[in-house]
């Protein structure tokens, strides 16, 4: 990694599971790590103070969305993304490659880049690898990502074409990067096809990125297919660089993907689920809209030390959800994020102590029906 600003210090391994520390200009990030998603420069329903109190070390924002609103140039004029959103720790920005997939009806892809029609006002915007790097350099995140094409995971013919574009764009992103205080992640693609994934890993590692993100998973394939891809990539990625699995993140995902050598995770599920009345627990999900919780005096999860579980009952939180009170969204979000961050810390401790397999078995047992 960039010796002047970043380093990746691998501290322990247990099987394929890794514990490390990312050193950045805005502080250290112990791994494995879950990164709360702040697409619009805010993690929905919680403040930066809340995140800090929960122990979040790094958050994610989205360059595509921030370019559209309020604008990367405005954020730069106001001191950059850290100052703009009041977050003092490290930040990672996603390039907008996922929007190539999620906004398929509003974009055109060609060998040079992507043309989007804004979901806000219908205006047309052109994204090239060079422009994506320029946007992220203006935003000023610690970790930035290449423009890539996230393709439908089961379509081999399309993935072959998309991979060619992704690799070409990666070369151009690397050439365009000019800030020494940012680390650039290359993004592996190739759908569920292990030969394409291995080809992508070889190509990108030969270019020498600061870290490697694994994109295009959890977008329609099965869990078993996800794990097969990760198993195939384990030997292909350099041990001295961080590995970031994009958009994957339930508590069980963290455990199983750390077992396959992944260091960094992000996912909107914990906050999105909370806004729809859902709570994550080690045993599965709870739907607080369900009437069976209306007189339940217990916490969302026994043994949880988050603010919601420490102070409030399931019955109260169900009342808030049923009444569409904002506090209900806040409490569920705080609980869900707290669980994700706690599991990541527990995973790290288990790896350092050489107890990862025991932790993994215990976690799986807790999730099994009694």
Q: Could you tell me the residue ranges of all domains in the chain?
A: 7-266, 268-370
**Residue 185 · residue 144 · CB < 8 Å:** yes
pLDDT for the residue numbered 309? 98
In this prediction, residues 278-296 reach a mean pLDDT of 97
Per the DSSP assignment, residues forming a β-bridge with 296 are none
Q: Which of 14, 50, 94, 148 is catalytic?
A: 94
| Alpha carbons 370 and 364: distance in angstroms, whole number | 12
* 251-258 and 326-352 helices, crossing angle to 10°: 20
Q: Residue 281 pLDDT > 90, yes or no?
A: yes
275's enclosing H/E stretch is helix 269-275
Residues written for the chain:
370
What average pLDDT is seen over the chain?
A: 96
Domain 7-266 has CATH 3.40.50.300: no
pLDDT for the residue numbered 54? 97
Instruction: For residue 245, count other CB atoms closer than 10 A to its CB.
Output: 27
| Alpha carbons 123 and 283: distance in angstroms, whole number | 45
Two tokens, residue 89: 């720790």
| Alpha carbons 210 and 302: distance in angstroms, whole number | 40
Q: Phi, psi (5° rounding) for residue 339? A: -65, -45
Q: Tokens 């007189």 sit at which residue?
A: 295
Q: Output the CA–CA distances (angstroms, integers) from residue 75 to 57, 69, 119, 164, 180, in the order listed.
A: 22, 10, 20, 33, 19
In this prediction, residues 94-107 reach a mean pLDDT of 86
In this prediction, residues 94-103 reach a mean pLDDT of 84
Q: Output the CA–CA distances (angstroms, integers) from residue 250 to 30, 87, 232, 254, in the order listed.
A: 19, 24, 22, 6
In this prediction, residues 179-200 reach a mean pLDDT of 98
Q: Could you give the percent of the chain with pLDDT greater than 90?
A: 94
- Catalytic-residue membership of 266: yes
Q: Tokens 């991979």 sit at which residue?
A: 163
Peptide bond into 32 cis (omega under 30): yes
Closest CA to 82 of 146, 31, 145, 142: 142
**Residue 67 · residue 135 · CB < 8 Å:** yes
Q: Which of 14, 50, 263, 266 is catalytic?
A: 266
pLDDT for the residue numbered 101? 79
**Residue 14 · residue 351 · CB < 8 Å:** yes
User: Can you tell me whether residue 31 is helix, strand or coil?
Assistant: strand
User: Can you tell me whether residue 122 is helix, strand or coil?
Assistant: coil
pLDDT for the residue numbered 370? 39
Q: Residue 223 pLDDT > 90, yes or no?
A: yes
The model carries a pTM of: 0.96
Q: Residue 65 pLDDT > 80, yes or no?
A: yes
- Catalytic-residue membership of 94: yes
């Amino acid at each position: 990694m960039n010796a002047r600003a970043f380093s990746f210090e691998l501290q322990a391994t247990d099987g394929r599971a890794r514990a490390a520390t990312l050193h950045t200009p805005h502080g250290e990030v112990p791994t494995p790590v879950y990164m709360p998603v702040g697409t619009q420069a805010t993690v929905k329903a919680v403040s930066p103070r809340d995140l800090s109190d929960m122990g979040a070390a790094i958050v994610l924002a989205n360059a595509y969305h921030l370019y559209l609103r309020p604008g990367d140039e405005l954020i730069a004029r106001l001191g950059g993304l850290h100052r703009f959103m009041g977050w003092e720790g490290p930040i990672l920005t996603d390039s907008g490659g996922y929007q190539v997939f999620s906004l398929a009806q509003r974009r055109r892809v060609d060998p040079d880049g992507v043309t989007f029609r804004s979901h806000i006002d219908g205006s047309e915007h052109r994204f090239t690898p060079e422009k994506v790097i320029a946007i992220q350099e203006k935003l000023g995140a610690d970790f930035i990502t290449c423009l890539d094409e996230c393709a439908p995971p089961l379509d081999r013919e399309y993935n072959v074409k998309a991979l060619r574009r992704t690799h070409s764009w990666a070369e151009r992103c690397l050439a365009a990067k000019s800030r020494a205080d940012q680390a650039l992640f290359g993004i592996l693609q190739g759908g569920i096809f292990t030969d394409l994934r291995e080809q992508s890993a070889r190509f990108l590692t030969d270019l020498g990125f600061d870290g490697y993100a694994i994109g295009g998973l959890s977008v329609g394939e099965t869990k078993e297919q996800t794990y097969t891809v990760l198993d195939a990539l384990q030997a292909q990625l350099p041990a001295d660089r961080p590995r970031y699995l994009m958009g994957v993140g339930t508590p069980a995902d963290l455990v199983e993907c750390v077992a396959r050598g992944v260091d960094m995770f992000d996912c909107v599920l914990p906050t999105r689920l909370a806004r729809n009345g859902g709570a994550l627990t080690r045993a599965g999900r709870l739907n607080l809209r369900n009437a069976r919780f209306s007189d339940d005096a217990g916490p969302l999860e026994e043994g949880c030390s988050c603010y919601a579980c420490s102070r409030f009952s399931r019955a109260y939180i169900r009342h808030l959800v049923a009444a569409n009170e904002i506090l209900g969204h806040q409490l569920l979000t705080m609980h869900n994020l707290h669980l994700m961050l706690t599991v990541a810390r527990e995973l790290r401790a288990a790896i350092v102590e050489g107890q990862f397999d025991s932790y993994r078995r215990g976690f799986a047992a807790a999730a099994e029906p009694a």
